[in-house]
Amino acid sequence: MALKKEIKTSEARILVLLSQVSDLNKYARAITSKLDIDYSYGLGILGRMVEKGWLKKIRSTKYAVYETTRIGKDLLSKAKKVI
């Protein structure tokens, strides 16, 4: 089950950030710039988090917006401890 898996620091930072920012800042470029990580590395992390079911990718007009799923919201308290 996903709740028993380890959360990496970068994944924890993304989960916490998504819980704190508005909808306008939930696209990949804004997430990577806010966390000061490389864009291509950040896309890989976001993709793995979508595969795990922690995030869902919503296509808006021009950008893909990322939202936390129920599993991601359950992992939020664990993510805060990792950071």
How far apart (Å, rounded) are the C-alpha atoms in residues 42 and 30?
10
What is the pLDDT at residue 2?
Answer: 46
Cβ atoms of 54 and 11 within 8 Å: the answer is yes
Residue 38 lies in a domain: yes
Number of structural domains (the chain) is 1
Which structural domain, as residue segments, surrounds residue 52?
A: 8-77
Residue 61 falls inside a structural domain: yes
**Inside any domain, residue 15:** yes
Q: Would residue 16 count as lying in a domain?
A: yes
pTM, rounded to two decimals: 0.84
Residue whose entry in the numeric block shows the structure tokens 């401890």: 81
Asked if residue 2 belongs to a domain, the reply is: no
% of residues, the chain, pLDDT over 70:
92
- The string of pLDDT tens digits covering residues 60-71 is 677 888 888 888
Tell me the per-residue pLDDT of 37-56, one tens digit each, with 9 for 90 and over. 999 999 999 999 999 999 99
Task: For residue 82, tell me if it sits in a domain.
Answer: no
Tokens, residue 66: 């990322």
The answer to whether 63 and 27 are in contact (CB under 8 A) is yes
Q: For residue 62, tell me if it sits in a domain.
A: yes
CATH code for the domain in which residue 19 is found: 1.10.10.10
